[in-house]
Amino acid sequence: MDGRNETAPISDLVWYFLPTIVLVPPLGIPANALVLRLLLGKPNICSTSEIFVLNLAVFDMMFCFMVVIEYIYFMFNKTEANANFLSWGLSQAGGPMLLCATSLDAFMAVCHPLIFLCLKEPKLRLSLCLLVSVLAFTVCGLAKLMPFYNLAMILMVAMLTICTSNVLILKSLRGPGPGGKDLHPVKKRVFKMVFTALVMVDFHYLPSLAESLIKVLFPKLLLPYSILTSFTYLILSMSSFIQPLSYLVRTKQLPKMRCNEKAETKTKKMSDF
């Protein structure tokens, strides 16, 4: 009787993780594949901030495949260790750091252009991407090897650092130009990009972090696995297709948007004629 009660929550995870498996990979794989195809075809991508977008798309693509493989393996081996997917750590660690790197790169380009020119070396950006990748996979390993509360504390420190840096970037971008002039249009565009990154980090990653902290600080308040787990993991996983879609919308690279843009250009040329 006791054994059945202990294993029931683990068995329920098959259903708790099901919304993520059904929704995220079918949307995330084609969206990230399109982003990868577009970015890999661009020249000198290592000299721009889009190298971070490329790295993020690789992470999201890996997550979409890894979460399906780990879910299938968990269905046949329902243990607590197998329920702790490596893909969750990859998504929680890699995504926020790369979004923060993209925001910081845009901030330096607009507010400190001279320093930005010195930091535009492709090797430096590739090294930063490699560092983020190593840190992300290290967190994946910690998720398997370290106690749960230690991982929650690590994620909390990382989230506080990322949110604080983005808020400071937004505050700097929001300031008026020299002589009290209005905000420059380029700064406005970068402000929107950094603000979008901050909102995405908070929306996708804070719910799962909040759940982890509640389980650590108030262990009797929540079960180890519940409907809340399904909800927070689904929000976390949705970043794997919302992030590439936001890039495609921002750059007007969605197939429908590209067709509309071509139609508008053709109509304009006909009217000019």
SS3 string, the chain, reads CHHHHHHHHHHHHHHHCHHHHHHHHHHHHHHHHHHHHHHHCCCCHHHCCHHHHHHHHHHHHHHHHHHHHHHHHHHHCCCHHHHCCHHHHHHHHHHHHHHHHHHHHHHHHHHCHHHHHHCCCHHHHHHHHHHHHHHHHHHHHHHHHCCHHHHHHHHHHHHHHHHHHHHHHHHHHHCCCHHHCCCCHHHHHHHHHHHHHHHHHHHHHHHHHHHHHHHHHCCCCCCCCCHHHHHHHHHHHHHHHHHHHHHHHHCCCCHHHHHHHHHHHHHHHHHHC
Q: Which residues of the chain have pLDDT under 50?
A: 1-8, 263, 266-273
Is residue 93 within 8 Å of residue 139, measured between CB atoms? yes
Q: Which of 224, 166, 213, 165 is nearest to 192 (CA)?
A: 166
In the prediction, which pLDDT does 26 show?
93
CATH architecture of the region 11-251 = Up-down Bundle (1.20)
In the prediction, which pLDDT does 142 show?
73
C-alpha to C-alpha distances, 211 to 18, 74, 218, nearest whole angstrom: 19, 22, 10
Mean pLDDT of the chain: 77
In the prediction, which pLDDT does 180 show?
54
In the prediction, which pLDDT does 32 show?
93
Would you tell me how many other CB atoms lie within 10 Å of the CB of residue 40? 10
The sign of the dihedral angle between the CA atoms of 77, 78, 79, 83 is: positive
Taking the domains of the chain in order of start, what are their residue ranges?
11-251
Largest interatomic CA distance in the chain: 82
In tens, the pLDDT along 213-246 reads 777 777 777 776 777 878 888 888 888 999 899 8
pTM as predicted: 0.79
Q: Which of 46, 57, 58 is nearest to 105 (CA)?
A: 46
Residue whose token pair is 């190298």: 51
